[in-house]
Structure 1
Amino acid sequence: MNRPVETDPVELTILMPCLNEAETLAVCIQKAQGFLARSGVRGEVLISDNGSTDGSQQIAADLGARVSHAPRRGYGAALINGIEQARGRFVIMADADDSYDFENLEPFVEKLRAGADLVMGNRFRGGITPGAMPPLHKYLGNPVLSGIGQLFFRPGINDFHCGLRGFNRERILGLDLQTTGMEFASEMVVKASLARYRIEEVPTTLKKDGRSRPPHLRSWHDGWRHLRFLLIFAPRWLFVYPGLVAFLLGALTVGVLSFGGVQIGAVGFDVTTMVYASALCVMGYQSLLFFWLTKLYATQEGFLPASPRYRSIVARWSAERGLLIGLGLFVVGVGIGVVQVLRWGSLDFGPQDATEVVRIAIPSALGIMLGFQTVMMSFFSGVLSTPRREVRADAVIES
């Protein structure tokens, strides 16, 4: 979507997504306009309406705010529409429920003018009035999700989900944000962190919103959506670390017990442990393969940035090499099985010690399974990495 034609240079757009906010919209607009008048910042108030049926659009128009109709429903969709339609070089966004402080936006503007790409509010530093945030969100949801976000992406902020934030419009548009729901707030911070944008944080306050109806937010449902989003954008934490631990622990256990049972104190470990350890090894290996395929797909489609190290690995890797590795593992597994059959033949195919049979069969089966998985992964990665023509609305471009 093209940027709206500017008649006068606008430095700041104060953006509010709106879905039936007639109770509080007017006071939010008046506070935002008051800030612009008092600070001398050349700006506008933009309402990105998401299909309100309570007259919110007329309230905004009567107060002199600009109204843009978001064609798709959803919190993220309304904000994407608003960012695209904004005339300001900078955008400060917040909900239109009168919970955020539109009267004191100077710290955000100062940070943006100083070169920050994204400026996040911190409600825990600025102050949360009684009743403004449910205890579940204040003491569990926000701290846990913010801690996970900080651990995964290192944005350098402590209130990952604050709805009051400012940003450089062009830089945020450059992230090509996609999510249309509540995950949009997380996507903005995650992608800005991955792109190594300059992210800063300023204190802000949060008060109880002025609506008589319940908020749109659903605690457990939306909390899980945010957590799921963070995990998807952190494939190392989702796939690599747990997969590597499971694979190494399982493989080591199978390897040790292949030479005989182990007694630790009063507890003995033998072929039964080998069976479960081999399952752990397979699960860990699958997790590592999923990481490779997820990373390959996500970088191809632009969901995740590709680091120079990753690009160098992809350049050296080929489906053919993966096939050779997979076939090698498969042959090793089959070879162990052949040796076991030959040993059985030396006994005229008579009775064998069950424990020893299983002790040899497990490494054989493990090699066959890992080899087969590697071969299939290699074929699939070859499909994902095949050069193709990408059809777009205005052109067909060689990717």
Structure 2
Amino acid sequence: MNSVTTPISSPAVDALLPCLDEAEALPWVLARIPAGRRALVVDNGPTEGSADIALGLGATVVHEPRRGFGAACHAGSTAATADIVCFRDCDASLDPPLLVRFVRQVRSGGADLVLGRRRPRGRSTWPAHARAGNLALARPLRRRTGPRLHDLGPLRAARRERLLALGLTDRRGGHPLQMVVRAADAGWRIAEHDVPHLPRTGASKVTGTWRGTWQAVRDMSRVLAEPTPAAENLTDVEEGVTAR
């Protein structure tokens, strides 16, 4: 069960940052969170004091002892209180101000889910095995969802209650893909924008190695194998959200 340290009054937007040993990158990331957004750092069991650093820099910290990217994202989503939530990594590879455009599009009704398509700055920014894994999933993703999407990166924005209503269950590396698949199944309008992908600070815990990439691809392939819900079930979900 997760817990929250130093909650503050409800913000306009919650920026959710899953965190596992990102002490080196946190100061840069938190300093660049746009005004009016609450930085909500999800402590996913770091060993180098990331949670204390986040607290010292004024962030709200959610404690989620279950390891897994999906577990951290779910904990952040349930602890958030803002109407709109954003997701991004804590590794300084994606600049927080990029989310301003994403939030604006969701708030205006131009899209229900906005995703960032990573465009690497430098050959070493995105390892070849991680890029290959992303490409391997892109084609079946397009067949499964319809929209011509290219990336399953962590930078994204959506309305919180609608996101929770999707009933995401993956607590591992398949979470980002499950969000897109279930949103598409529910008829959401999904937009994708190019974003600069910078060299990360510190070592990647997911796609930094062949083994990590293979595990993420396996998790996501399992999500793609999920059956498409019946049309009437999708209608029930959307009506339930509207009733809120």
Same-fold status (TM-score > 0.5): yes
Match of 2:115 among 113, 120, 139: 120
Contact 1:76 1:182 in 2 (8 A): yes
Aligned to 1:52: 46
Q: Which runs of 5+ in 1 are unaligned?
A: 37-41, 236-303, 310-399
State the alpha-carbon separation in 2 of the partners of residues 15 and 185 from structure 1: 13
The 1:197–1:70 alpha-carbon spacing in structure 2 relative to 1, beyond 3 Å, is same
Match of 1:191 among 167, 182, 189: 182
Deviation at 1:157, TM superposition (A): 2.2
CA distance in 1, matches of 2:218, 2:59: 35
- Asked if residue 129 in structure 1 is aligned to residue 129 in structure 2, the reply is no
1:306 corresponds in structure 2 to 230
Deviation at 1:7, TM superposition (A): 6.8
Shift of residue 55, structure 1, vs aligned partner: 0.6
**Aligned counterpart, 1:182:** 173
Which residue number in structure 2 is paired with residue 162 of structure 1?
153
Matched with 1:19 is 20
Give, in whole Å, the separation in 1 of the partners of 2:143 and 2:106.
25
- The partner residue of 1:201 within 179, 182, 192 is 192
Partner amino acid for 1:57?
A: A
Give, in whole Å, the separation in 1 of the partners of 2:232 and 2:14. Answer: 36
Q: Which residue of 1 aligns with 2:237?
A: none
Is the alpha carbon distance of 1:110 and 1:214 closer, same or farther for their aligned partners in structure 2, counting shifts above 3 Å?
Answer: closer
| 1:154/1:27 CA distance change after superposition, 3 Å | same
The aligned residue for residue 152 of structure 1 is 144
CA displacement 1:243-294 (0-9 Å, x = unmatched): xxxxxxxxxxxxxxxxxxxxxxxxxxxxxxxxxxxxxxxxxxxxxxxxxxxx
Distance 1:9 1:222 in 2: 33
* Larger CA Rg, structure 1 vs 2: 1
Structure 1's consecutive aligned runs of 4 or more residues displaced over 6 angstroms after TM superposition are none
> Could you tell me the percent identity over the aligned residues?
34
Name the residue aligned to 2:236: none
2:99 partner letter? L
Q: CA deviation at 1:143?
A: 2.1
Contact 1:48 1:78 in 2 (8 A): yes
**Higher relative strand content:** 2
Distance in 1 of aligned mates of 2:32 and 2:123? 22
Please state which structure has a larger fraction of its residues in helix: 1
TM-score (norm: length of structure 2)? 0.84
> Shift of the alpha carbon at 1:118?
0.9
User: What secondary structure is seen at the aligned counterpart in 2 of 1:121?
Assistant: strand
Is 1:118–1:165's contact at 8 Å kept on the other side of the alignment?
yes
- Partner of 1:47, secondary structure, is strand
Query: What residue in structure 2 maps to residue 248 of structure 1?
Result: none
Q: What is the count of residue pairs matched by the alignment?
A: 224
Q: Is the 8 A contact 1:130 1:207 kept in 2?
A: no
Q: Please give the alpha-carbon distance, in whole angstroms, between the structure 2 residues aligned to 1:178 and 1:81.
A: 12
C-alpha contact (below 8 Å) 2:99/2:157 kept by paired residues: no
Distance 1:229 1:104, change over 3 A: closer
1:29 match: secondary structure: helix
Supply the RMSD in Å over aligned alpha carbons.
2.1
CA deviation digits over 1:125-169, x for unaligned, max 9?
A: xx543211112333x32222112101112134222x111111111
Is the 2:25–2:92 Cα contact (8 Å) retained in structure 1? yes
TM-score (norm 1): 0.53
For the Cα contact (< 8 Å) 2:8–2:60, is it kept in 1? no
Matches within 5 A, 1:232-251: 232-233=225-226, 235=227
Q: CA deviation at 1:20?
A: 1.4
Gaps of 5+ in 2: 234-244
Q: 1:7, 1:49 → 2: CA distance?
A: 17
Deviation at 1:170, TM superposition (A): 0.8
Match of 1:78 in 2: 72
Counterpart residue number, 2:37:
43
User: How far did 1:21 drift?
Assistant: 1.2
